[in-house]
Amino acid sequence: MKEVQTVCARDCYDTCALLVTLDESGQVLKIRGDQRNPMTQGFTCPRGAKDHERLFQNRVEAPALRQGDHFVRTDWGTALSMVSEKLAEVLQKHGREAALYLDYAGNTGLLTGAFPTRLWNALGATQTDHAICSASGHAAIGLHYGDSYGMAPPELLSRDLIVFWGFNAAVSSPHIWSLARKARRARGTRIVVIDPRESRTARDADLWIQPWPGSDVALGFGLVNYLTQKGYVDLGFLKDWTLGFEHLEEEAAKYGPDCVEHITGVAWNHVERLGEAYGNLKPSATLIGIGLQKCDQGADQVRAVSLIPALLGQHRGFFYSSASAFSIDEELISGRALAEKVPEVVSQVAVANLVGRGDFKFIYVSCMNPALTLPNQHALRKGLSKGDVFLVVHDTHWTKTAEYADVVLPAPTYLEKEDLVIPWSHDHVQLSPEVVPPVTDSRSESWVMRELAKRLRLAEDWLFEDPWASVELALEDALEKGSVGSLRSGGVLKLRSKPKDNYATPSGKIEFYSSKAAGLGLTPLPTQVPLSIPKGEFILLTSATPRYTSTQFQEVYGAIPAVVIINAQDAEQLSIQNGDVVALSNDLGEVKVKATVSGTVREGIVWSPRQSEGLMGQPQNCLMSGQPQEIGGGPRFNSARVTITKP
């Protein structure tokens, strides 16, 4: 037996360093966390531990072509000729805007995700803004801090207060959660969770605060008001490092006890307890969940929460993502910096609307399962079903999107190819090698990109460059010590992070009252919008569960459960009992699921596992609006309103 060091390529906070145990024949026996990585801490999640089981289940074995309502196996030459001929035809007849490259983070390796984009940048094909997950939060924090990076998760071990705001870390980031619990055991750190749902993280908190969904600006302003009134604000820090506090103070003063309780449903004594914790337990850490910004007022919620640590005299005392702290030149890797053509960029959140109305005649999907993950699913699927759009899917497994494809191309999993994964929370980086030879007739994304470029007779030299040469250039200033060569030799290196007291705002300071927002016609301060929900409607919340990364791992753990959790009083009023089949409906669609009656959600709120399918195969995201947020263009998943009926 032998062990191979690798890195998980999932779109996840933790980016685990893994040890893969192989038997004498080279078969994977198990995968476990590498204890030498201070973030991974020697353990991994249920997904990472079972990834090798996906090697042989539901794989795309070879290139496949649609014939009527089924697929037939073919060879790579035939498949790529068909793809390139159809792409060339669309470019000639309809223009480059009619070809859409639709990708996301199904695999976050630089050679899998960024480098293959060179083809589409050379063509000037339409691409998306990649706003489906975290973009509104990044844009929101950037309005006040310039960049969205904050503290690094290992710093939790030196904090006396850790606040998880809209962040179910026990599920979404078990390693960040482990660090928080270590801090509590070692130094008595207090853990506070702010979440409308009694999540796994909330159940283990020292204080759980349960605001009404969408009311976090009011809760944040109530906290700012309390901190100001009690003298907990660091006036020296505000003078030296910030601008516009007087505007924030004036606005927050409107959010006294009665106002906050009315909007949020949170008793004022909880705000006082939180304020006392922030005021007396220093230093603190405020961890902002990605899910906090996936709603109508998501960007403003993140803005409001991110400003709290600055009041207490902390440079970037929050954590949302560390991605912008690292100097990786992805524009170079992707070819965006090299291409002469400037592609049209469309909203990823609204792309279903565009596909539905027939804007594209050729769509190439990579590292994404849009036929489940995008909002407004009925519009998307209607568009994909039209006979005038040619769909190509390059994926490791047969997905819902592949079912709509004209050509399906097999891709290797991260265990079957060499790549480099850049974390977006911590700063440790190492090679992800080819652990096992490909078990299917798959080809890497970079290989397919080059082959298509040849068939299209593209002449740009940078399309055929060694991918590792581009990565080496892109990481020239990114590593504290060592080089890409060191990584390829098995080294574990650290990424260089930008200073915490560097603020890329117009003033060079933290701007409570954002001049950038004002210049863009946005409100310079976060805004709490009025909240109301008609009688008989419910807010549908969705979030991650431990066994699934997006729609992945259903091969291992079965289908994502088609369930909805409903409060006992709501269930009684609707005559719903545990196990009843109910229909969640709105003007966009209907999904049938089984009801679970529970006190983990309050009245007026229901919860379902993210990106599930209903009992009749209806996608959960058929209930979700495809209208992007004003700030950052992010989604509104957690503002969906539904009625609940018994069919």
CB-CB contact of 353 with 531 (8 Å): no
Same-domain check for residues 162 and 261? yes
* Predicted pLDDT at 398: 98
Q: Of 288, 320, 352, which residue constitutes the final position of a domain? A: 320
Residues of the chain with pLDDT below 70 are: none
**Which tens digit of pLDDT belongs to each residue from 474-495?**
999 999 999 999 999 999 999 9
Return mean pLDDT, the chain.
98
Q: Does any domain span residue 465?
A: no
* Predicted pLDDT at 305: 99
Given the structure tokens 């994404």, which residue do they identify? 368
Structural domain of residue 302, as residue ranges?
150-320
* Predicted pLDDT at 399: 98
* Predicted pLDDT at 319: 98
Same-domain check for residues 45 and 73? no
3-state SS, residue 141: helix
How far is residue 293's CA from residue 635's CA, in Å, rounded to a whole number? 8
CB half-sphere exposure, 609, CA atoms < 13 A: 21
Tokens coding 357: 């109305």
Q: Distances in Å between the alpha carbon of 88 and those of 91, 96, 345, 528?
A: 5, 9, 20, 49
Q: Does any domain span residue 136?
A: no
How far is residue 412's CA from residue 398's CA, in Å, rounded to a whole number? 13
> What is the tally of structural domains in the chain?
4
3-state SS, residue 285: strand
Same-domain check for residues 85 and 116? yes
Q: Does any domain span residue 144?
A: no
Same-domain check for residues 316 and 346? no
Same-domain check for residues 41 and 86? no
**Which tens digit of pLDDT belongs to each residue from 37-85?**
999 999 999 999 999 999 999 999 999 999 999 999 999 999 999 999 9
* Predicted pLDDT at 589: 98
Same-domain check for residues 122 and 160? no
* Predicted pLDDT at 120: 98
* Predicted pLDDT at 590: 98
* Predicted pLDDT at 332: 98
* Predicted pLDDT at 214: 98
Q: Of 56, 74, 97, which residue constitutes the final position of a domain? A: 56
Report the CATH number that the domain containing residue 172 is assigned in CATH.
3.40.228.10
* Predicted pLDDT at 7: 98
What is this structure's pTM?
0.98
Same-domain check for residues 416 and 376? yes
DSSP E strand boundaries for 144-268: 161-165, 190-194, 207-209, 242-243
